[in-house]
A and B are shown apart, each in its own frame.
Chain A
Amino acid sequence: MRPVYALSGGVSKFAKTRQDKNFQAVTKEAYDYAIQDLEIDFPTFTSIVDGSVASYFSDHFTRQLMAAIMAQDYLGLCPKPSHRVEGGGATGGICFQEVWKSIASGHMDVCVAYGFETMSHVETWKGNEFIALASDVSWDYPVGGFYSGYYAMMVTRHMKEFGTTVEQMAHVSVKNHINAFSNPYAQKRNRYSIEDVRNAVMVAWPLTRLDICVMSDGAAATILASEEGVKKLEAAGAKIPRPLVKVTGIGRGTDAMRMSDRPHVDYDTFMQDYATEQEKADDGTRKYYKGLWKKGTRYPGVHSFRAGRTAGNMAYKHAGISDPLEELDFVELHDAYTSSEIQTYEDLGLCRYGEGGPFAESGKAHLSGIDYGVQLPEKPVCPVNPSGGLIACGHPVGATGLMQAVFALWQLQGTIKKHFDDDALQVKNAKRGAIHSHAGTGTYVTVSILEQEV
């Protein structure tokens, strides 16, 4: 496999509705920004780019089959090769990795990932119905198809088994909303308190409206290249910052469509098949997990995502990471729900299973220099969702995973101030970050590692 570099990216303004433009034109906003950030003109870039991968989740939202080719056409990329990928909420993350594969394999030198979703064409309750069709329509959807309900069920189990509290979940909402306050691309830029989150309208107990991401219209694009691709672009006049940002690891995992079908494995199977290298090597952690299993914990059950753990372990191995909390400078993860951010801390090995709640309120996942209005007992170690995440930025599904890639790239290029006109969210000395994209009730999960080339 050849080295793959992330060179530039663009994100449209995420908004409740973008009726000012159709999805092709919103996608072009992000695509043009990515090209302009290379300081190269449109026709020159078009002559060099080898192809693309398109990302959007639902044909229902656009009421348009083959929407991807309409974007490809509008971007002026025809007749170059392209295909659409779809994997629920992880569509963007899958798209990013498919572009990586196109370049790593030697098939292309310059390839663009673009994604979009226009969710405003239907009312919120109909949108929830479309999303719920991404659950088994024989067995799950007819019982009361509603993703917030599915995630709420997961977290009641997490609370029962591990003692996770609603206030710990609210910490995630406060953190991500306040981060987004400095992100001009975010849909929601509000300062909330723990009380605001808990006093918000209850949607699916115990998740309130401020525990849940919102539907959005938006698009994002990322340009990736091989070493040869970088040379071609620079020979044509592109300005690419140094050090380059390299994609050093990709991982992907899956799980059963019906969360009812997830296994409940014993301690030995967990340690053998799912534990991180760090967990396997640590006597205290093995003892801690034995204690959990003694009390009745089984893995993954409905409280954890083995697809996320599988994707994380694979990406860490690829990138040579053994202690993610210490070796990652930030993580952009799929916080469709505050509860799923807590679950994902655990899946990604930022803390042990069962300790995601205390981790959320510890301060380790917060940014330095930002007043969150809460007491944080520990200093930041690995900021999670410095952009504001899905909860505050919005979740135009096909664009979301690529939005994470763009924000991660800007963090590693040290260009947050340039793009946000504010450096409050710039992680100081960011060298390596992870992006995490997640579908369904944990059915597809991708983790990709980006880092400055040494």
Chain B
Amino acid sequence: MAKLPDRRPETLGGYIVHGVPFPVETDPDSLAFLKQMAPLQIEQDYKITYLHSYGQDSPWFAAASNKKLLASRDPESGYAYATPRGHDMYSGKETEWIDITETPAHIHAFTVCYFGSEEFLPETPFVLCQIEFEGINTLFLARLFGVDPNEPSLDWIGMEVKPRFLRNSKLKPTDVYFLPA
């Protein structure tokens, strides 16, 4: 019978720290002194690739990749959502798709982000805005281009805008962005 390993294989790298200060003897005075020790910190990586489903909202992304902007609407009340919902929040009924690509649109609210989450830091400064569409009851969060991010103005609110689509779809809501009309 082969000899079973009695040591865990060791490698350089990972969480190994060399020469951590520690008392030579573990007498009571030395152990008590450990209460004054500064905390040790190590790095922990955490990376995950998710398989994210857009579920019932998937047609919106298919439309955007084909340069069409969809919204959803309660077929009876006509209450319409610029950011689509599969079911109406008032009737509870399934909504229908409508095309709002050519619907007049305006800036409802905006900001310029000069700082941001790690994922978007390379894109700063960028303009976030809420878009309102004529005849549509709710808003749509998007990026705004064609304005100077270093000269923000409340006058941008109410500005007429038009959608533009990425030529190469990423299947993200940013496949559509807006420009002054």
Which residues B127-170 have CB closer than 8 A to chain A? 128-130, 137-143, 152, 154, 157-158
Q: Return the contact of A203 from the options B82, B114, B152 (Cβ within 8 A).
A: B114
A123 within 8 A of B: yes
A42 within 8 A of B: no
B108 within 8 A of A: yes
Given contacts A153-B109, A157-B157, A260-B130, contact A125 B121 (CB under 8 A): yes
Residues of A within 8 A of B108 (CB): 157, 302
Bound Cα distance from A202 to B124, whole angstroms = 12
Does A260 lie within 8 Å of B140, measured CB to CB? yes
Q: Return the contact of A19 from the options B39, B57, B117 (Cβ within 8 A).
A: B39
Does B44 lie within 8 Å of A63, measured CB to CB? yes
Interface-facing stretch out of A75-83, A102-110, A226-234, A261-269? A261-269
Does B113 lie within 8 Å of A149, measured CB to CB? yes
Q: Return the contact of A140 from the options B114, B115, B118, B141 (Cβ within 8 A).
A: B141
Shortest CB-to-CB span from B141 to chain A, Å, is 5
Shortest CB-to-CB span from A153 to chain B, Å, is 4
Does B111 lie within 8 Å of A302, measured CB to CB? no
A144 within 8 A of B: yes
Does B128 lie within 8 Å of A149, measured CB to CB? yes
B7 within 8 A of A: no
Contact size range, B? 35 or more
Shortest CB-to-CB span from A64 to chain B, Å, is 10
Which residues A141-196 have CB closer than 8 A to chain B? 142-146, 148-150, 152-154, 156-157, 159-160
Bound Cα distance from A262 to B57, whole angstroms = 18
Residues of A within 8 A of B152 (CB): 205-206
Bound Cα distance from A142 to B126, whole angstroms = 13
Shortest CB-to-CB span from A406 to chain B, Å, is 26
Does A153 lie within 8 Å of B111, measured CB to CB? yes
Given contacts A137-B52, A145-B119, A202-B114, contact A153 B129 (CB under 8 A): yes
Residues of B within 8 A of A137 (CB): 52
A428 within 8 A of B: no
Bound Cα distance from A262 to B82, whole angstroms = 11
Bound Cα distance from A123 to B52, whole angstroms = 26
Residues of A within 8 A of B123 (CB): 144
Bound Cα distance from A152 to B129, whole angstroms = 10
B62 within 8 A of A: no
Bound Cα distance from A153 to B82, whole angstroms = 17
Given contacts A142-B173, A153-B130, contact A148 B115 (CB under 8 A): yes
Shortest CB-to-CB span from B174 to chain A, Å, is 6
Q: Return the contact of A149 from the options B85, B116, B154 (Cβ within 8 A).
A: B116
- 0/1 string, A105-124, CB within 8 A of B gives 1: 00000000000000000010
Does A146 lie within 8 Å of B120, measured CB to CB? yes
Residue of B nearest to A145 (CB): B117
Shortest CB-to-CB span from A272 to chain B, Å, is 15
B101 within 8 A of A: no
Residues of A within 8 A of B113 (CB): 144, 146, 148-149, 152, 203-204
B46 within 8 A of A: yes
Does B111 lie within 8 Å of A258, measured CB to CB? no
Which residues B89-113 have CB closer than 8 A to chain A? 89, 108-113
Bound Cα distance from A125 to B52, whole angstroms = 23
Bound Cα distance from A19 to B40, whole angstroms = 8
Residue with the greatest number of chain B CB neighbours at <10 A, chosen from A19, A129, A146, A203: A146
Bound Cα distance from A279 to B169, whole angstroms = 50
Does B109 lie within 8 Å of A128, measured CB to CB? no
Residues of A within 8 A of B174 (CB): 142-143
Q: Return the contact of B83 from the options A126, A260, A263 (Cβ within 8 A).
A: A260
Does B109 lie within 8 Å of A204, measured CB to CB? no
Q: Which 4 A-B pairs have the closest CB atoms?
A: A152-B111, A129-B117, A157-B109, A260-B139
By a beta-carbon cutoff of 8 Å, the part of chain B in contact with chain A is: 38-39, 41, 44, 46, 52, 54, 57, 81-83, 85, 89, 108-121, 123, 126, 128-130, 137-143, 152, 154, 157-158, 172-174
Q: List 10 A-B contacts (CB under 8 A).
A: A19-B39, A125-B118, A129-B118, A143-B128, A146-B117, A156-B154, A204-B112, A205-B114, A260-B82, A260-B139
